[in-house]
Structure 1
Amino acid sequence: MKKYAILMCCMGNICRSPTAEGVLRAKLAAAGLEPLVELDSAGTHEYHLGHPPDPRAQRHALQRGYDLSPLRARKVGLPDFDRFDLILAMDRENLAGLARLRPEAGDKLRLLMSFATRHHADEVPDPYYGEGDGFERVLDYIEDACDGLVEMLRQRLQGDAG
């Protein structure tokens, strides 16, 4: 059975999208869904190719039990639009950039926060130029959205299996 494939995207792939990848990976494992889902992250720009996530993002994530250290930044490419079933942008600017890259991607492209149930923001704010509280807010938003995403995947994947 083909895995359901999800790509998390932000601008540089060193703060928000690797955090989202790490959080979702942990939540999928806890839900027993990790073997059914392929997961990756990428940036819409190539500022940090091959770099690990921002040390602040890693530190704040690790305090909540998410290890981002194995991840490395990469740029989203055209093959990603065929490989992934769902491409989730952290904000409208990156969503628009993805849509320009592959206009026919349609409903494969969504904002991650469209899955959130507790926070009413529609974007995950970029914490790069801020302080630690920005990274905590990012984690709060991403955890919320990933909970909703896991629930959608549970229904979809267990429905397919049943």
Structure 2
Amino acid sequence: MKKTAKPSWVDIKKHLSGFDRAGLLALVQDLYAASKENQAFLHARFSLGDDLLKPYKRTIDRWICPDVFRGQAASVSNAKKAISDYRKAVGRPEGLTELMVFYCERAAGFCADVGFEDDSFFVALVRMYEQALKLSVGLSRDERDRFLARLVAVCRVCNNFGYGVSDDMRVLFAEYVSDER
């Protein structure tokens, strides 16, 4: 087979087509053993375990609410990657909404607890808040109301932040949520 400079899915697919059932199972087993991310993906994809969101929440928490006393840094991109990984594994709207609302809760709590003020961090928080609102309004009434109540609480936590964070959140809330609820 011809080697390409940048392998793609097409190249992998060609190799996989030659595998028998046992070979495919062995490959998946190797992938499972290779990383916790692969394990979380497979558990979520096949709905295995009590709390499918736990590993994704753990990752979000680590990166959006770091232990500053241990010198850990925040990383919006790493926290958002956990949500993207869940979306690829399963992508259930209620699970995605839970992760997004959790992200907002933890980010707002982190900023309030340690006095963290960073414009790009706040911009990412407001964007995630908007995405959580968009998904929330499409859920069943009970789920929607539960998530919206949590998002209202996030906005309250952000009242003392600079950069107009809570103002932006209130505008978004009014835009996505009708008064009828």
* TM beyond 0.5: no
Q: TM-score, normalised by structure 2?
A: 0.26
Higher normalized helix content (fraction of residues) = 2
Higher normalized strand content (fraction of residues) = 1
Taking CA–CA contacts closer than 8 Å with sequence separation of 6 or more, which of the two structures ends up with the larger relative contact order? 1
Q: TM-score, normalised by structure 1?
A: 0.28
